[in-house]
Structures are given as structure tokens and as C-alpha cells.
């Protein structure tokens, strides 16, 4: 009986730990935004609006009229992609997407959600010499030494939760 109680408490603690980590990540994002505001950097909201204007202008140039955004769905995706790729890279990929002549995209009138789904396909190919087989370290890993793959990180976290 006591063993089940311990397992239950550990499972709840693991859930709470994940919630705290999520909150900490959100706080870090807000601190970065405040730092940009204080030091005169470009705020995330300005970057999002800049990208929306670029995408809408490119879309309008192809189809005419105004692009109808689904802000509740689209803005979180735009923020995520700007953080991941940077504003200029994202704008370049949007241009490549809207120049795409594939009938699949034309039938959907180059909707933004399809851009998000195909953003990785819209890159400039690298030379074979530029490729590396080493995986980048896991971004949110706090282990010492740091995990070198998501699989290793997951195994180590699961072992921590079990113990």
C-alpha cells in the first residue's frame, strides 16, 4: 500500500516539475523580451507584425486582395518560427513558398498553415562538405555532461523520475 502511495506522489511530483520547467521557460522568454525593450532591440510583436506584412504583401501580389489571418492559430506559429529561424530567414522562406508552382499549394491558395507544414522543405541546399553528422546538444538539457540526443535525454529524465 505504501509503495503505491509513493509511486503516486512521485508521479504527481514529476508532473509538477514539468509545469515548473514550462513556467521557467516562459519567464525566461519574458526576460529576453524585456531586455530587448530596455536595450532598444526589436520586440517580438514588431517582428511578428513585420513578417505578417511581408507574407500578406507576397500573397496579395500573387492572388490579389488581402490575406485573412487566423491570428489565434497563426501568431504562435509565427513566433515559434521567428525564434527558431530568425525573421530574415523566415521571410526568405515565405518568398520561396509563395513562388512555389506546385498545384497542391495553388489549390489551397498558398495558405499560411501549409507554409508552416513545409517550412523545412524551403531551405537552401547545403554542399555535402558543409554537412555534419554530429547532432546539436539538446536545448533544454541541464544534465552534466549534457545529453547529445533527444533519445538520451528522454532516457535520463525517465530514469530520474523512476528513482
State the residue range of the domain holding 155: 126-163
Is the same domain home to 102 and 121? yes
The reported pTM is 0.63
Runs of H (alpha helix) within 39-149: 44-63, 71-85, 87-99, 103-107, 112-118
Alpha carbon of 142 to those of 80, 99, 136, 139, 156: distances in Å? 22, 42, 14, 9, 11
Considering the domain architecture, whether residues 120 and 130 belong to the same structural domain is answered as: no
Q: How far apart are CA 125 and CA 13, in angstroms?
A: 45
Burial 98-117 (b: 16+ CB within 10 A, else e): bebeeeebeeeebbbebbbe
Residue 131 and residue 117 share a domain: no
Average pLDDT, the chain: 86
Task: Look at the chain and report how many structural domains it folds into.
Answer: 2
pLDDT tens track for 18-55 = 999 999 999 998 888 888 889 888 889 999 999 999 99
Is the pLDDT score of 160 beyond 50?
yes
Amino acid at each position: 500500500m505504501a509503495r503505491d502511495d509513493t509511486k503516486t506522489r512521485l508521479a504527481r511530483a514529476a508532473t509538477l516539475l514539468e509545469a515548473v520547467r514550462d513556467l521557467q521557460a516562459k519567464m525566461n522568454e519574458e526576460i529576453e523580451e524585456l531586455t530587448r525593450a530596455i536595450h532598444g532591440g526589436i520586440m517580438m510583436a514588431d517582428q511578428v507584425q513585420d513578417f505578417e506584412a511581408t507574407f500578406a504583401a507576397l500573397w496579395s501580389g500573387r492572388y490579389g486582395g488581402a490575406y485573412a489571418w487566423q491570428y489565434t492559430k497563426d501568431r504562435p506559429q509565427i513566433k515559434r518560427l521567428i525564434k527558431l529561424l530568425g525573421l530574415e530567414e523566415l521571410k526568405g522562406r515565405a518568398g520561396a513558398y509563395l513562388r512555389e508552382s506546385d498545384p497542391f499549394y495553388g489549390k489551397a491558395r498558398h495558405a499560411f498553415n501549409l507554409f508552416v507544414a513545409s517550412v523545412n522543405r524551403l531551405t537552401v541546399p547545403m554542399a555535402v562538405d558543409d554537412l555534419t553528422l554530429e547532432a546539436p546538444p539538446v536545448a533544454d538539457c541541464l544534465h552534466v555532461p549534457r545529453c547529445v540526443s533527444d533519445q538520451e535525454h528522454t532516457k535520463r529524465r525517465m530514469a530520474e523520475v523512476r528513482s
